[in-house]
A and B are shown apart, each in its own frame.
Chain A
Amino acid sequence: MSVTNESIWAASPSTTRGQPTQLSSDAKGERLAYAANKSIFLRSIDDPAVAKQYTEHKVQTTVARFSPSGFYVASGDVAGLVRVWDCVGDGILKGEYSIINGRINDLAWDGDSQRIIAVGDGKQRYGHCITWDSGNTVGEIYGHTQQINSVAIRQQRPLRAATAGDDKKLVFYHGAPFKFNMGIGDKHSNYIYGVGFSPDGSTLASVGADRKIWLYDGKTGETKGQIGEGEHTGSIFGLSWSKDSKKFVTASADRTVKIWDVEAGKAAQSWTLGEEGAMAVRDQQVGVVWPPGRSDNLLISLSLSGDLNYLVEGTPKPRQVVQGHQKNITSMTQSVTGDKETLWTGSFEGRVCSWDVASGTAEEIEGDSHSGYIAGLAPTSEGAGRIYSVGWDDTIRSVDVAAKTYTGGTTKLTGQPKGIAAGDSTVLIGAAEAVEIFNDGKKTGEYKTKFAVTTVAAHGAIAAVGGEDGSVEICDVASSSLSSRTSIKASRNQISTICFSPDASLLAIGDLRGRVLVHKVTDGTLVTDRWTAHNARITSLAWNKAGSHVVSGSLDTNIFVWSLANPGDWLEVKNAHKEGVNGVAWIEDSAKIASAGADAAVKVWKVEGLK
C-alpha cells in the first residue's frame, strides 16, 4: 500500500511588473531553473509536465541558476540568502549563505563551477563573491550606489565579472579574487537590467530601461559601441547569448523578443508575443534564455503572465506556449468528456486553467475572467459541458469545456461566495447565511439557513450545506429551492468542506481544525470520527470511484488517504504542497490522485494496493 509522487506540473515563474526575471538553463539545454513563489522549479524543456521542486527556501525565491558543471543549483530569495544544492540527486543542501540584507536579484557561477557572485538590494552592501562549497570570500562587489539588478562572470581566464543596476552604472571586475576595475556610468541613461558575457568571453553586453544595448570588450571592459538604437520601444529586461557567441537575444516590455547579430549590429529576428493590441501588459517579455547544447535552436522567453514562450530561430510563431498558475491555486475540480479527463484549477488572482490529465499540459482560460480569488469551481453537463466558477469579485461565470473560454454572462452574487456545488440541473452557491440556487446561469431561488454558511456540496438532487457553527444540513434540491432533510451537529469547529460519496450514501465532512468525519446521508448517523491526523483546516475531500476511500487535503500541507474498511490505517503524503493543499481529486479511474496547492503547482500521485 503506497502513495508516491508521479509528476509535478510546475508553477509558472513568478514575475513582477517592471522588474527582470531570471531564467536559467543547464549546459545540455535539457532543463530550465526558475523561481516561483517560495519554490525553485527545475523543469524539463522538452516535456514541461516533468519537473522537480525545491522547497527549502523560507521566503519568496527570486533566482536560480545551474552551475556550468550541471551538478548544482544556486538559488536566492528575498531575505538575501543563497542556497547551493545538489540538482542531480535529492536536492541535498551544500551550503547556505547570507549574502545581503535584502532581495537577491541575480547570481552567477564562474566557468569552474567554483565561485558565485550574488547581487541584489542590500542595505550594507549590494552583493558578494563566495566559493560555492565553503562560502569563503573571493572578492568584493562595490562601486554601486543603488541595487544591482544583474551580474555576469566571464567563463574563461582571465576571470572578469560585470555588475549593473539602478544607478545606471556597469562595474567591471578583475579576478579572482574579484576586485573593482572600473565603473562605466556614462553609457546607459536609465536602470540597467541585464549584463552578459558571450560564451567565448570576447564580448560583454548590457541592456536596460533606456532601451539601449551596449557592447564592451570581454577582457578589458573597453566600450565597443551601442547597437540597435530605437529598435526596442520598451525597457529591455534581459539578454542571453547563443552558444556560438555570434548572436544574443533580448526580451523587452514592448512585448518583443529580438535576436541580434553582433557583427552586423542588427536585429536578425523579432517576435511579438500576445495577440495584436490585446492585453499588452501581460505579454511584456521580462526574461529570456537561449539554452546551450541544443540542436533545435530553441530559445525561451518569459511573459509577465508567466507564460514560457518556446521560440525557434527562423520560425515566426512560438512553437509552444507553456502556461500554468503563478499564484496560490485556491480550488480544483475535474471533468470527463468521452475518454478525455481534464482538471480545472482556479488561483488567487482569478486565473482559471484547464489541465489535460493525459499530457499534463495547462491552458489558461481566455475571455472575461475573474478579477480575484477563485472560491470554487463546479462542473455541469449543461450545454456540451460547463465549468462554473465563483470568485471574490462576487461573480459567477461559466467556462465552455470544449472551447476553454468564458462563455455566457457574468452574474453578480449577493456577497462573497463560500463555495459552489453542482447537482443534476442546478448550481448551488454558499452565501453568507443562505444558499443561492442557479439554473443555466440564472438565479432561480435562495434558501435561508439557520447558520452562517461556509461550504456547499451536491450530488444529483441532494445537497449538503456546512456551517460556521459546525453543523451540516442535508437538503433535497428542487429547481428553485432546497428543503431540509436532516441536520447534523458534525463538529465543534467550523465546517470547511464536504463531499458526497459516489453513490450519495455517505458524506465526508472536513472541519477547520483538521478532522474528517463520515456520516450517513439518509439519517445523519456517524460512520467514523477516527480520521483526525490532520492539524489544520481540511480544504478538500474526494471519494474514490468505489466509495471505499477518501483523500483529504489540508492547510497543514499534507495529503492523507483514508480507508473506510480500515479507518486506523491511512496513507500519508507529508509536505505535499508548501503552505497548504487546496484541492484533491481522484483521476485515471481512481488509480491516481491529483492535488493542487499554495505553491501554484499541480501534482499527481500514484496510489497502489489500497486496502
Chain B
Amino acid sequence: MSLASGVSIQDECITAFNDFRMSHGKTKFIIFKIADNKKEVVLDEVSSDQDYEVFRGKLESAQDSKGNPAPRYAVYDVEYELGGSEGKRSKIIFISWVPDNTPTLWSMIYASTRENLKNALNIHTSIHADDKSDIEWKTVLAEASGGKAGK
C-alpha cells in the first residue's frame, strides 16, 4: 500500500462513471471533487455538453468555498480522427486538475487521493494538469491519441 490520504470514493462516483462508459459518447464528461469535509470524493457535475470549451471553462473556474482556485478530478470522452482509413476513435481520459496556485492543503489532499480514484474507476490514460496549457484541447487530444492526432 502506498501512501494515501484514505479519502473514500462515494458510490455515486463509480455508478455515474459506469453510466458514462455505457452512454457511448452521449455523456461527455464528469467532474469530481473532494467534499469540504475532506472525507470523500463526490460528484460535481455530469454533462453531455459536446463543446470542450464548456468543460475547460468549468475546470478553469472551479473554486473552493473561500473563493480560491480549487482542484478537480475529471473524466472526458475524447473523440478524434486518425485520418486516412483509420477513422474515428474515442478514449476516456482521466484528468487531475490542480492549478498551481492551489493552497498546499488541497494540493496535498488531491494528490494523495488521485490514485485511489483512478484505480476505482480503472482508467489508465491520465493527465496531470497544473497549468492552463495542460487542459487545452490540443494537449488533451495529444495525450488521448498517444500523439497521433492533433499535432
Residues on A facing B (Cβ under 8 Å): 529-533, 568-570
Contacts and interface: CB of A to CB of B under 8 A. Distances in A.
A531 B56 CA distance: 14
B100 to A, nearest CB: 9
A559 to B, nearest CB: 15
B138 A568 contact: yes
Contacts of B136: 530, 533, 568-569
A530 B138 contact: no
A569 B53 CA distance: 11
Nearest to A492: B101
Pick from A532, A568, A570 the residue with the most CB of B within 10 Å. A568
B137 A533 contact: no
A568 B131 contact: no
Interface size class of B (residues with CB under 8 A): under 10
Contacts of B53: 568
Contact residues of B: prevailing secondary structure:
helix
Contacts of B137: 568-569
B21 interface: no
B148 interface: no
B138 A531 contact: no
Interface of B: 53, 56, 131-133, 136-138
A493 to B, nearest CB: 12
A532 B132 contact: yes
A532 B138 contact: no
Contacts of B133: 530-533
Contacts of B131: 532
Nearest to A568: B136
A530 B57 CA distance: 11
Contacts of A533: 133, 136
Closest 8 CB pairs of A and B: A568-B136, A532-B133, A533-B133, A530-B132, A532-B131, A532-B132, A568-B137, A569-B138
A568 B129 CA distance: 15
B18 to A, nearest CB: 30
A570 B136 CA distance: 10
Nearest to B137: A568
B29 to A, nearest CB: 16
Contacts of B132: 529-530, 532
Contacts of A529: 132
Contacts of A530: 132-133, 136
A561 to B, nearest CB: 13
Contacts of B56: 568
